[in-house]
Structure 1
Amino acid sequence: MSSLSERTFCLYTYGCQMNEHDSERIAGMLESLGAIQVESVEDAEIAVFVTCCIREAADVRLMGQVASIKNIPLPSGSDLKKRMICIGGCIGQRDGQKLIDALPHVDVVFGTQNIEHLPLLLEEAIQEGDHRVETLESAATFSTDLPSKRVHPWAAWLPITVGCNNFCTYCIVPYVRGRERSRTLEDVVAEARSLVADGVREITLLGQNVNSYGRDLYGEPRFADVLRGVSATGVERIRFATSHPKDLTDEVIALFGELPNLMPALHLPVQSGSDQILKAMNRRYTADHYRGLVDKVRAVCPDISLSTDIIVGFPGETEEDFQATYDLVKSIGYSQVFTFIYSRREGTPAAKMEDTTPREVIQARFESLVDLVQDSAHEQNQRFAGRTLDVLIEGTSKRDGSMCTGHSPHNVTVHAKLPEGMAIERLQGTIVPVRIDEAKTWYLSGEIIRG
């Protein structure tokens, strides 16, 4: 019997969907060995942090949270001398032993390439009473080979690639996730079939750059083949993240008008509207090329919702550069924009770039862009008022337990009154028609249409 049997653990997950998927695999591994997942750290003998290092704030948050649980007593009945603290994910991969030096009460550090080794590292740390640190440069297997405990039985992450070959000058991901590797098309479709057989209604295909899927295996991208293969399984909803504009092909774009289960929502990070900044970022496309992609997508799917990422304050950004970004956002009409102030990451080329722009100037630019983004999101949502949308119900609203909440095909949050006498458990994981009565900036509200 594993020494982890009946040990309690909790998970803290930061960052991207790939980290969320890794956390599901970690939970699956630990539970397969008899461990029990709990919600509160007060009830946990083991705390596992799956981390992100894209922005500096993530480092600060991790240090604060790890420090904050140091002196929380173990749950009653535990025979451990102390709570076991494990740090994995991108910060674990990047820092390794440095984490132990900075946080001596951390017991295990593991990286992005060896999450399957966590149980052994944890057992050794418990038995020997000392630290365990292991990070690998590459992995022989995919984490998809591990057991999984999905957060929701009706929705699943399905990674098709890991790693990244793009080396955008601001981004640490290629250094902590490794070079891009693709799973075989047969493996991806087989897992999709298995998920559908298990009751999954929505599959989200994952990769640091899904559009370049297969280039390492087949010599050319075959993401369109993945979409067709997963669509043929009959799953009701398909989404994917994240796309790189330089690899979004006409063949993939055409599928938004052909595959009925490919949802009308596309996340297409632009990062900047300035060609000068895009070149400095090593993004390898121009603003006009990006606009052309949007035109093509809307030609085949006029009702599509677009979202993007934008960095404000990249080194050397002038007022003219920022205005080009502002104008691009205003002209495209996004439903959602994730805006970030540039965060310097050691080890990336951009970290060596000089910038003399005052912080208050960058902050003012950021705030003006946020105002524009809110206006755009509100405007985009008005098109849904009075329409009936199919909504995948996920649970009750955090603010009002009498309201259920879910997402529309366009990936917009939708709230609706629970039908009288109906428990949320009957609706969770089902797709129901909701008549939209009100369209706000970040959500829609309406009434479930009962047949």
Structure 2
Amino acid sequence: MHHTFSHTTFCIRTFGCQMNKHDSERIAGMLEGLGALQVDTYDEADMVVFMTCCVREAADVRLLGQVASLKNLPLPKSSKLDHRIIAVGGCIGQRDGEKLVRELPHLDVVFGTHNLASLPRLIESAIEAGGHHVEVLDSAETFPTDLPSVREHSWAAWLPITIGCNNFCSYCIVPYVRGREKSRPLEDVIADARTYVAAGVKEITLLGQNVNSYGRDLYGEPRFADLLDEVDATGIARLRFATSHPKDLTDGVIERFGTLRSLMPALHLPVQSGSDRILEAMNRRYTRDHYLGLIEKLREACPGIALSSDIIVGFPGETEKDFEATYSLVEEVGYNQVFTFIYSKREGTPAASMVDDSPHEVIQERFDRLVDLVQEKAWQSNQVDAGKTIEVLVEGASKRDRSVLSGKSPKNQTVHARVPEGSSADELAGTFVSVKVEEARTWYLSGSVIEDEDAGRMLKSDAE
């Protein structure tokens, strides 16, 4: 089969969650393994793969626009194909299947979230036989992690521990497109983590739609806290995880923020709303008080912990009083970052049939008020670090200025600092530097790299 892919080029566009980014890395791994070369732009690509997300309405519109724009784009001069192969995977592929081909007749391949491994075969059929090739399975035959991977950064790795979700929040399509929750055996996850550490990875992010319930299907009860202990014991420098559901966040996991060397002091804990009435309508299965109790315990275990969250404004039936409950919760918690969304209806979810009678202007006005508060609180949270020296994992040069390096603090803040003399941001990527913070802004910190004799020597050996 391999001859089909030698001397071909491919480009992947990823929308949506971390799990999609991870899936894209797997697809790149498979196609490169078969001799294809990854390129950055549509112009240079013989094949374009869209990894889609159907959590937000805008994603469908964006996908249709991008696929349509490829229709008349000429193939690269070196191409040996008779037309550009366009494939759509991820959640929209899973949900729409055949329907996509009817909407976009120049689409060649559609695959779902459960059969990444079929993509090369589907593309090969499209190249050799022409026509449309659609294959969407109801559940996964292999865990995506069994496939090869090309990671975006050699020093950072996504490590999926569960796929799917059992929660059925009323606004969310994920359980329908990603299927029931399945955990990977503990020893498989640890074996992967050890392999990553041996390969020089500095930061592992454990992934799942709801990491806190990890292992319930395999062991009868969640074993996420045990998993954190074992990954920490591999010697990884930095450990993070996403995403957490408040109803399953146990005291054991909270304690680990105070005890585990590698577990970074940052947690994304989506609250969605501060109103009990709306939380119930969303089927979130916790109350405002329960959530605030978790925040209190987290701050006891790890006093400087950086908290982030997701909030939906304008859920069907939300009143001014419900919104005020959300607003006051954000004031009380003082998050480092909140991702705010205006509710958008997803066909196929229970919330889609709920009566939604708030005028758009009212919802927009609430949203704007919340965003102002979020920014104010983010700015305040970052002031704590002004004047401190923090360890930064360098990601590379700042997008705006090659002489400035950009990286992440333990609290996952973006940090900028001028690149030290005689060094380059690219050389330092994937290493740790100490930065003295001179200015704390709303969305980033900036300062100077501290180089004393010892640190200088250490950084040098690190970069080699």
TM-score (norm 1): 0.99
| Aligned partner letter, 1:365 | R
Alignment of 1:120-199 (within 5 A): 120-199=121-200
- Alpha-carbon deviation of 1:77? 2.2
Q: Secondary structure at the match of 2:153?
A: coil
| Aligned partner letter, 1:417 | R
Q: Is 1:214 equivalent to 2:215 in the alignment?
A: yes
Query: Which residue of structure 2 aligns with residue 236 of structure 1?
Result: 237
| Aligned partner letter, 1:25 | R
Distance 1:345 1:77 in 2: 42
Query: Which residue of structure 1 aligns with residue 296 of structure 2?
Result: 295
Q: Secondary structure at the match of 2:366?
A: helix
Q: 1:236-264 deviations in whole A, cap 9, x for unaligned?
A: 00000000000000000000000011000
Query: Which residue of structure 2 aligns with residue 19 of structure 1?
Result: 20
Structure 1 stretch 299-308 or stretch 417-426: which is displaced more? 417-426
Query: Which residue of structure 1 aligns with residue 461 of structure 2?
Result: none
Alignment of 1:7-406 (within 5 A): 7-406=8-407
- Alpha-carbon deviation of 1:189? 0.5
Distance 2:208 2:34 in 1: 28
Query: Which residue of structure 1 aligns with residue 438 of structure 2?
Result: 437
Distance 2:345 2:196 in 1: 39
Q: 1:143-190 deviations in whole A, cap 9, x for unaligned?
A: 100000000000000000000000000000000000000000000001
- Alpha-carbon deviation of 1:6? 1.8
Query: Which residue of structure 1 aligns with residue 455 of structure 2?
Result: none
| Aligned partner letter, 2:351 | A
Q: Secondary structure at the match of 1:41?
A: coil
Q: Secondary structure at the match of 1:409?
A: coil
- Alpha-carbon deviation of 1:425? 2.6
- Alpha-carbon deviation of 1:108? 0.2
Q: Secondary structure at the match of 2:436?
A: strand
Q: 1:2-32 deviations in whole A, cap 9, x for unaligned?
A: 3112210001001110000000000000000
- Alpha-carbon deviation of 1:93? 0.3
Distance 2:432 2:364 in 1: 41
- Alpha-carbon deviation of 1:82? 1.1
Q: Secondary structure at the match of 2:259?
A: coil
Q: 1:362-411 deviations in whole A, cap 9, x for unaligned?
A: 00000000000000000000000000110000011111111000000000
Q: Which structure 1 residue ranges, 5 or more long, are not aligned? A: none
| Aligned partner letter, 1:11 | I
- Alpha-carbon deviation of 1:438? 0.2
- Alpha-carbon deviation of 1:289? 0.3
Distance 1:2 1:442 in 2: 48
Distance 2:427 2:96 in 1: 45
Q: Secondary structure at the match of 2:258?
A: coil
| Preserved contact between residue 159 and residue 207 of structure 2 (Cα < 8 Å) | yes
| Preserved contact between residue 211 and residue 241 of structure 2 (Cα < 8 Å) | yes
| Aligned partner letter, 2:65 | G
| Aligned partner letter, 1:156 | A
Q: Which structure 2 residue ranges, 5 or more long, are not aligned? A: 453-464
- Alpha-carbon deviation of 1:335? 0.2
Distance 2:419 2:356 in 1: 53
Alignment of 1:412-427 (within 5 A): 412-427=413-428
Q: Secondary structure at the match of 2:152?
A: coil
| Preserved contact between residue 107 and residue 132 of structure 2 (Cα < 8 Å) | yes
Using the aligned pairs only, state the percent identity.
68
Distance 2:400 2:305 in 1: 29
TM-score (norm 2): 0.97
Q: Secondary structure at the match of 2:310?
A: strand
- Alpha-carbon deviation of 1:338? 0.2
- Alpha-carbon deviation of 1:69? 1.6
